[in-house]
Amino acid sequence: MPVTAPPVETAWLLHHVVGFDELRAFCWHRQDPLPLHATRECLDTLIQMFGWAFSPENTYAGYVRPDPHPITGPFHYGELTVESLPVDHGSVETIGYLFSHPGAPETAYLPDLKRLPPATAARLATIAIQAF
Ligand SMILES: [Zn+2]
């Protein structure tokens, strides 16, 4: 039985760019550009590595056609607010995300870090943290 990837409405990157090609699996039948949220540094690296994808000449069906959104502050999807949180990873700028929705507990997703900077730890102080 063939497996079909679910539709993806947007992609939010942390810092890694090597998974960019894997987004193609979610764009086979997509007509519109894929909103891609990331830091300016991450987007610049992606543009350098995958320039073909960002080119206006990228009209190939099934290829990722990113609609880059540099993160400059909290952004919204309907009532969902997404806030980037800087984390210490190593030599590159890395972020996690904090999701806020009316009536729901705030949820943080910080999958790739070595340490929490004090400002990020303070922002997370009111959240019940679970580590897996
Ligand atoms: Zn990493």
Find the 62 Cα to ligand 1 centroid distance in Å. Answer: 27
Find the 15 Cα to ligand 1 centroid distance in Å. Answer: 7
Q: Does 77 score more than 90 pLDDT?
A: no
Sheet order of strands, 66-70 included: 11-12, 34-38, 66-70
> What is residue 32's predicted lDDT score, i.e. its pLDDT?
87
> What is residue 89's predicted lDDT score, i.e. its pLDDT?
87
Per DSSP, helices labelled H in the chain are: 40-49, 51-54, 118-123
Question: What band does 80 get if pLDDT is binned at 50, 70 and 90?
Answer: very high
Find the 86 Cα to ligand 1 centroid distance in Å. Answer: 13
Lookup: tokens for 50: 């995958």
pLDDT (mean) for 10-16: 75
Query: pLDDT tens digits for 41-67?
Result: 889 999 999 999 999 998 887 788 999
> What is residue 15's predicted lDDT score, i.e. its pLDDT?
73
Where do the structural domains in the chain lie, given as residue ranges?
A: 11-70, 75-123
Lookup: tokens for 102: 């009316």
Please state, for a pLDDT cut of 90, what percent of the chain lies above it: 48
How many CB atoms within 10 Å of residue 26? 16
What does the alpha-carbon distance between residue 80 and residue 51 come to, in Å, rounded to a whole number?
A: 31
